């Protein structure tokens, strides 16, 4: 009988020792961030379950972000990208800025240049601006000789004719974004301005 109690006591100690050894391991495993270790212990702590639940939400947001995030390879219509390629113009890795207006927009947003083997290029830039910022910027441009043309859309401002012998850039502001292009027709290919 004493032997049975002693064996039972040893077994209980051994099992208690095993469960104590198991308890510290699961919190250490999720901290190390290995998914194989985190999988066997999803019920050990509530934090990994919350983290796992939070992950799909950012993933959904992340999958939506590329669709809405503007960039040189997403702002134009497919037809315009095809036209640029047909003309031998490719996205330049380093943008040579056309003027100070473009530089300012690039500093606040982004800019692009499509160039080929010759001296022909197409420039584009955009930046987020609230209405007050745009109103001030618009007045600066008007004071510098830019004129409202409404071509190809309402509110377009065009640089003065003597701005550059080959390019007369334009800007327009819509829904909190200021758009710049090296010529007015190019704005007609900006997907955000089509709707």
Q: Are residues 82 and 171 in the same domain?
A: yes
Domain hosting 143: range is: 70-193
pLDDT along the chain (195 residues), means of 10: 37 37 39 35 30 35 52 96 96 94 96 91 96 97 95 93 89 97 95 90
The pLDDT value recorded for residue 177 is 97
Domain count for the chain:
2
The pLDDT value recorded for residue 26 is 38
Q: Are residues 40 and 89 in the same domain?
A: no
Taking the CA atoms of 64, 195, 153 and 185 in sequence, report the sign of the dihedral they define: positive
Q: Are residues 151 and 178 in the same domain?
A: yes
How far CA 11 is from CA of 2, 19, 50, 160, in Å, comes to 14, 12, 36, 92
Q: Are residues 140 and 155 in the same domain?
A: yes
Q: Are residues 81 and 55 in the same domain?
A: no
The pLDDT value recorded for residue 7 is 34
The pLDDT value recorded for residue 161 is 85
The pLDDT value recorded for residue 57 is 37
Q: Are residues 11 and 96 in the same domain?
A: no
């Amino acid at each position: 009988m004493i032997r049975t109690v002693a064996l039972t006591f040893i077994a209980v100690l051994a099992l208690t020792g095993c469960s104590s050894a198991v308890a510290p391991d699961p919190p250490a495993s999720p901290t190390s961030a290995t998914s194989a270790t985190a999988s066997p212990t999803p019920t050990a702590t509530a934090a990994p379950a919350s983290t796992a639940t939070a992950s799909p939400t950012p993933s959904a947001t992340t999958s939506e972000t590329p669709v809405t995030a503007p960039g040189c390879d997403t702002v134009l219509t497919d037809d315009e990208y095809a036209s640029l390629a047909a003309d031998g113009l490719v996205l330049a890795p380093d943008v040579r800025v056309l003027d100070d207006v473009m530089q300012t927009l690039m500093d606040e947003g982004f800019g692009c240049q499509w160039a080929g083997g010759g001296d022909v290029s197409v420039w584009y830039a955009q930046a987020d601006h609230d209405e007050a910022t745009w109103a001030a910027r618009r007045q600066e441009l008007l004071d510098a000789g830019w004129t409202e043309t409404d071509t190809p859309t309402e509110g377009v401002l065009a640089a003065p004719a003597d701005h550059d012998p080959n390019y007369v850039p334009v800007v327009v502001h819509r829904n909190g974004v200021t758009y710049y292009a090296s010529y007015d027709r190019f704005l007609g290919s900006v997907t955000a301005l089509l709707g």
